[in-house]
Chain A
Amino acid sequence: MKDIEYLGDFDEYMQRHEGISPEQAKLMKDSYEELNDELYRFVMNAIVG
């Protein structure tokens, strides 16, 4: 969801970090998105309860 990228856009992050192998990038992306998802749920919990 484009809107969620406000919490952190991985592709934009990657553009600032060159020379990373595709395998490492995949690991980083999974981890990054996992953290984004957790942060998202926490933020929404602060509003919704």
Chain B
Amino acid sequence: MPDIDKISSLLGALNEQEVYDAIGEIISAQPTGETVLDTILACQKGMEIVGEEFEKGNYFIGELMYAAQIMDEAIGRLKPLLGTAGEGAESGIVVLGSVAGDIHDIGKSIFRSLLEASGFQVVDIGIDQQPEAFVSAIEKHRPHIVGLSGVLTLSIESMRKTVALIEEAGYRSDLKIIIGGSAASEEACFHSGADYWTKNAALGVKKCKEYRSEQQ
């Protein structure tokens, strides 16, 4: 029986090829759906280790990004074995996007990977998105949380307009709004009317989990 727990440590240690080898072993043993889910969970735990190392200051953004790549590849190899069983929204639905005027994508991608690793279903509406696009996505997907990403300071005003439009559309009290990226700050949070701000993707995921516990 392949060692699933080993996968968490391998991913946490960023041993890319060993992660794929271990997953390959599991796949070739014709695993049950439960084993596949356990393996995905092991990958998620591995990402949690990476997040912890980042918070401790041992890992940097580079490690987060590399880990996210390994994670995406690993999950990509496992998901086909699940059919639709792996699509879970138990943790919650997050609509995520970079606000109008901002075409940066990297931080948002890291945050998305970490959210998915924690079991969230993420609807990434992309970069340079007008407030209307966020409201459309909210109407369609009924998320629990909305994430606004912005790297440039010009995004603060876009964040404010987005939150204002969500309020105007009547959705504000149904969800939590968090802002992230280099432009995020206490002032930006205050000015935009968001609920929470962070420059740290791992802390953002923690907050999302807290919100979901409160909401449920």
A and B touch in the complex (CB under 8 A): no
Q: B: which residues have CB within 8 A of A?
A: none
